[in-house]
Structure 1
């Protein structure tokens, strides 16, 4: 069974929820490492998504610029 990747917004929402739990006055120490690991995974996912989106936008803009000069 494959797990669906979250959307960027879903990942950001989960990061915010997890950080709120981690930063609470009484975080659950038993789950702390797991929560931090999940946040790190989500941050990597979001960073990758932003990089790929930026590259795609740059490519599209470059194609448009090429079309205008032809």
Structure 2
């Protein structure tokens, strides 16, 4: 995976980890690492969603401003 994981990649990997945990496909030894990785992926997703929300809000604010002619 690339150094900078995008939202889709992070979300898909997170889904895979959850599935592995739910189905018991990982050992107890791997569980800690999977949980740590999941926490990192959640942070990536949250940061991207926050950035996207800020971008959208800024665009909407700019659209609401009266244009001077």
TM-score by length of 1: 0.85
| 1:7 corresponds to 2:6 | yes
Point out 4+ residue stretches in structure 1 off by more than 6 angstroms: none
Deviation at 1:48, TM superposition (A): 0.9
Give the superposed CA RMSD: 1.3
Contiguous gaps of at least 5 residues in structure 1: none
TM-score by length of 2: 0.86
Which has the bigger relative contact order, CA under 8 A and spacing at least 6?
2
Higher helix share: 1
| Map of 1:55 onto structure 2 | 54
